[in-house]
Amino acid sequence: MVRRVAVVGAGSSGLACIKICVDEGLEPVCFESSDDIGGLWRFKASPEPERSSIYRSLVVNTSKEMMCFSDFPMPADYPNYMHNSQLLQYFRLYAEHFHLLRYINFQTTVRSVTQRPDFSLSGQWDVVTINRDGAEERHVFDAVLVCSGHYTHPALPLSDFPGYETFSGRCFHSWEYKDADACRGQRVVVVGIGNSGGDIAVEISRSAEKTFLSTRHGAWVIGRMSANGLPLDMTAITRFNNILMLLLPKTLVNWAAERALNHKYDHRLYSLKPIHRLHRKLPIPASSSV
């Protein structure tokens, strides 16, 4: 008997899971709450509750050489670091090539996933869904793969900023940000220097009257390209480098890498020098807009 597998979500992970299930002789049934594939990488002009959200100019910070599925290379004419629309198109090509859309139930929300009463013997799951017509359906699966992603609930701790109640300007999370038009001619402070904070601060600075980037701990900023114009992640993430990281003293590795980064731009000069060593936290990729 063919084992049935529920796949929750039709983003990048969901599509890969559907394909692997088919390869392994399983019967995947994917439930996607929206009306299309792509998950996080589907740009919407207005953010939707309970869904991840990206800004219009977003470019991926992982190169196509490292990001593509191993059995489906990205088109040769794609840039090393793609705009979000190109990545979504790649997912469409992938789904079409491997005939994955036939396994996806769109506009179907998974309401609950629970172990069956005889789970200790059968290993099966009860899955309750709601379809596009609002009808509830019950299913039994041998396995469940949850590919629903994250970044769906923005954390906006305004209560940690005394006096925000009297602030006459707008306070909003990057989850709501779409482009710099809303900040044109204004004085803007971007709080946080993660990937989104760095990108958005650069973009806003071109239209705002003044842009400030606030960070508690600083960050190591690293370029996306390496020697000979190759993507940095492609040349840095290798078995050889991994062995070196295990064999060499971490202090020496940090010193050498930090020295190289500071040769490009002195982090202390730009008030970016962090309190942590380079390999304690992920560095921040330099915005493609810089």
> What confidence score (pLDDT) does residue 39 get?
94
Mean pLDDT of 60-84: 95
Give the span between the Cα atoms of 110 and 127, in whole angstroms: 7
pLDDT in tens, 276-289: 999 888 899 876 44
What's the token pair of residue 123? 């290993």
pLDDT in tens, 122-149: 999 999 999 999 999 999 999 999 999 8
Checking if the pLDDT of 273 tops 90, the result is yes
pLDDT in tens, 106-121: 999 999 999 999 999 9
Q: Which residues on neighbouring strands pair with residue 139, listed in sequence order? A: 127
Band (79; pLDDT cuts 50, 70, 90) = very high
**Orientation of helix 84-97 relative to helix 12-23, angle to 10°:** 20
> What confidence score (pLDDT) does residue 288 get?
46
| pTM of the complete model | 0.90
The DSSP letter of residue 286 is P
Of 47, 58, 78, nearest to 285 by C-alpha is 58
Give the span between the Cα atoms of 264 and 274, in whole angstroms: 16
pLDDT in tens, 197-221: 999 999 999 999 999 999 989 999 9
Band (182; pLDDT cuts 50, 70, 90) = confident
Checking if the pLDDT of 150 tops 90, the result is no
- Sheet containing strand 4-8, edge to edge, reads 104-106, 27-32, 4-8, 143-146
Instruction: Write the single-letter amino acid at 216.
Output: R
Q: Which residues contact 123 (CB under 8 A, 6 or more apart)?
A: 142, 143
Give the span between the Cα atoms of 210 and 8, in whole angstroms: 43
Residue 37 vs residues 8, 29, 94, 149, 255: alpha-carbon distances, Å: 12, 14, 11, 13, 44
The three-state (H, E, C) secondary structure of 15-70, written as one string:
HHHHHHHHHCCCEEEEEECCCCCCHHHCCCCCCCCCCCCCCCCCECCCCHHHHCEC
**Orientation of helix 250-264 relative to helix 239-247, angle to 10°:** 120
Which of 84-88, 242-246, 271-275, 285-289 has the lowest average pLDDT? Answer: 285-289
Band (290; pLDDT cuts 50, 70, 90) = very low
Give the span between the Cα atoms of 288 and 166, in whole angstroms: 36
Q: With beta carbons less than 8 A apart as the criterion, state whether 146 and 164 touch.
A: no
One of 3.30.360.10, 3.30.565.10, 3.40.50.300, 3.50.50.60 is the CATH number of 4-146, namely 3.50.50.60
Give the span between the Cα atoms of 7 and 61, in whole angstroms: 27
Taking the CA atoms of 32, 36, 37 and 39 in sequence, report the sign of the dihedral they define.
negative
Tokens 């731009």 sit on residue: 265
Residue ranges per structural domain of the chain: 4-146, 158-285
Checking if the pLDDT of 50 tops 90, the result is no
Give the span between the Cα atoms of 141 and 146, in whole angstroms: 13
Q: What SS3 state is found at 240?
A: helix
Of 28, 50, 4, nearest to 105 by C-alpha is 28
Of 56, 35, 36, nearest to 45 by C-alpha is 56
